[in-house]
Amino acid sequence: MKHLIDPMDISIDELESLFKLAEEIIKNEDDFNNICSHKILATLFYEPSTRTRFSFEAAMLRLGGQVIGFSEPGSSSVMKGESIPDTIRTVGSYVDIIAMRHPKEGAPRYASYYSQVPIINAGDGGHQHPTQTLTDLLTIKRTKGQISNLTMGLCGDLKFGRTVHSLIKAMSRYENIKFILISPQELQIPEYIKMEILNKKNIPFIEVERLEDVIDKLDILYMTRVQKERFFNEADYIRLKDSYILDKEKLKLARKDLSILHPLPRVNEISYEVDEDPRACYFDQVEYGMFIRMALITKLLGVM
Ligand code: NCD
């Protein structure tokens, strides 16, 4: 693995070794606080972010490295019309590794063709978000003890939600996974995910509209926000934005050992009262995201 653009760029063996390293970092963080000294990460964020950018930056700083970058393309030469290849060639001559988020699908892959340093896709449009998937998989492994033999409900905006697309791709390689895809008709999972992954690999899945009808069957419930920024018109967003609100009442129907995940940010789809429920894992998930990124940076830089 030189770059991480798509969740399939990481083999199952590489995933296992990343999880192992993340666990070591969680246990003995002090042993790792200098291993990236003299290394620099650039975060090139052409789209808003809180968790992903900060967790990359915190990860690099905790490894003893340094960070440069932008969170607003408006403050860089992008505004003067600089192309992705030129920006990447330039930044790549200053730094050792780049994390890039871009509203255009495929932009990080395009960047990787011109980069002399590893590129990590930190989210490209409504397409993929492989490091969120690493975060999600580590959370599942830690809460369930395994990533196989699970019935997973994915709920909300399955059309534009890149974290959902990446997670389905990555989970499709584990044994005995069943998906229950819960969304309004207009926000159903893209056809290419059904054709190229679910159908091709004979992975059982059903598509439903009501969360209440299926919540009792789930080991994991992965909630997502309706992706406002990917809608063509605001009226559709307003009509669909509150399609699902997970609250205490609905959770009464769920199993005691359910794990609730959410990539965050949340808008309305999980009410705050759920945060106190022991089944809510989304703030642990945030924390694991930083540790798995520490492991990923370490591996991609080849410092361990
Ligand atoms: C997600 C993203 O950017 O796709 N956020 C994140 O990185 N944790 C999910 C979202 O924005 O809804």
For residue 1, what pLDDT is reported? 67
Residue 258 DSSP class = -
- ω into residue 265 within 30 of 0, thus cis? yes
DSSP run (H or E) holding 282: helix 282-301
Residue nearest to atom 3 of ligand 1 (CA): 123
Q: Is 3 annotated as a binding residue?
A: no
DSSP run (H or E) holding 98: strand 97-102
CA of 133 to the centre of ligand 1 (A): 11
**Helix boundaries (H) for 63-174:** 84-92, 107-113, 130-144, 162-171
Q: Distance (Å, rounded) from C-alpha 101 to C-alpha 210?
A: 32
CA of 270 to the centre of ligand 1 (A): 15
- For the stretch 212-228, pLDDT in tens is 999 999 999 999 999 99
Residue nearest to atom 8 of ligand 1 (CA): 263
- For the stretch 94-135, pLDDT in tens is 999 999 999 999 999 999 999 999 999 999 999 999 999 999
Q: Is 264 annotated as a binding residue?
A: yes
Residue nearest to atom 1 of ligand 1 (CA): 263
Q: Distance (Å, rounded) from C-alpha 89 to C-alpha 114?
A: 6
Rounded to whole angstroms, what are the CA distances from 64 to 31, 33, 93, 101? 11, 5, 20, 23
Residue nearest to atom 7 of ligand 1 (CA): 52
Burial of 20 (0-12, 13-18, 19+ CB in 10 A): exposed
Burial of 2 (0-12, 13-18, 19+ CB in 10 A): exposed
The pick from 43, 50, 52 for probing ligand 1's pocket by mutation, whose C-beta has the most ligand atoms within 8 angstroms, reads 52
292 compared with 304, residue with greater pLDDT: 292
Average pLDDT of the chain, as a whole number: 96
Q: Distance (Å, rounded) from C-alpha 193 to C-alpha 165?
A: 7
Atom of ligand 1 nearest to the CA of 52: 7
Question: What pTM did the predictor assign?
Answer: 0.97
CA of 263 to the centre of ligand 1 (A): 6
Q: Choose the weakest-confidence range: 9-23, 75-89, 148-162, 237-251.
A: 75-89
Q: Is 51 annotated as a binding residue?
A: yes
Q: Is 162 annotated as a binding residue?
A: yes
For residue 78, what pLDDT is reported? 80
Q: Is 265 annotated as a binding residue?
A: yes
CA of 226 to the centre of ligand 1 (A): 10
Ordered by where they begin, the domains of the chain are: 7-128+287-301 (3.40.50.1370), 130-285 (3.40.50.1370)
- For the stretch 50-100, pLDDT in tens is 999 999 999 999 999 999 999 988 888 887 888 999 999 999 999 999 999
Burial of 73 (0-12, 13-18, 19+ CB in 10 A): middle
The residues assigned a catalytic role are 51-52, 80, 101, 129
Atom of ligand 1 nearest to the CA of 227: 12
Q: Are 169 and 235 in contact (CB under 8 A)?
A: no
For residue 197, give the 3-state DSSP assignment.
helix
Ligand 1 pocket, residues with Cβ under 6 angstroms: 51-52, 123, 129, 132, 162-163, 224-225, 263-265
Mean pLDDT, residues 165-182: 98
The pick from 264, 268, 287 for probing ligand 1's pocket by mutation, whose C-beta has the most ligand atoms within 8 angstroms, reads 264
- For the stretch 233-254, pLDDT in tens is 999 999 999 999 999 999 999 9
